[in-house]
Amino acid sequence: MSPTESALSSKPSDPSARATGRRGAGGQFALALYILYCVEIGMFLLVVPWSEVWESNFLMAYFPLLRPLYVNHYVRGAVSGLGVINLWLGVSHAWSFRLSAVRGTAGR
């Protein structure tokens, strides 16, 4: 098998060409940014609907007829629920990242 065929094959013949399952530095950095993004968005969506910022946003000036919808506690709760989901995603990814890092160092 030629090197090109080996690189394109889904079953490479060279054992060193197989994926080890470890992320490179770029993948770890991207995952860390994704975790921070999820946690930040989650905290924002969890807190802002219940703050003064929510009631004085620019949408109130442009669409005053929708004010009852914006200040509705069910809508605020739904937005906060999205924040909880984002926080859960961030924490679960951080937990799996931590576990993969522990397994990666233990196998050396």
In a domain, 62, yes or no: yes
Range of the domain at 38: 26-106
Q: What are phi and psi of 101, to 5 degrees?
A: -70, -40
In a domain, 6, yes or no: no
The pTM of the full predicted model, rounded to 2 decimals, is 0.67
Q: Would you state the pLDDT for residue 55?
A: 86
If one counts the domains in the chain, the total is 1
Contacts of residue 76, defined as CB under 8 A and 6 or more positions apart, other chains included, come to 49, 50, 54
In a domain, 40, yes or no: yes
Give CA separation, 100 vs 22, 31, 90, in Å.
8, 12, 15
Model pLDDT for residues 87-102, shown as the tens digit of each residue: 999 999 999 877 777 6
In a domain, 19, yes or no: no
Q: What is the largest CA-CA distance in the chain?
A: 69
Model pLDDT for residues 42-89, shown as the tens digit of each residue: 999 999 999 999 988 888 888 889 899 989 999 999 999 999 999 999
107 pLDDT above the threshold of 80: no
Q: Is 86 exposed, middle or buried (0-12, 13-18, 19+ CB in 10 A)?
A: buried
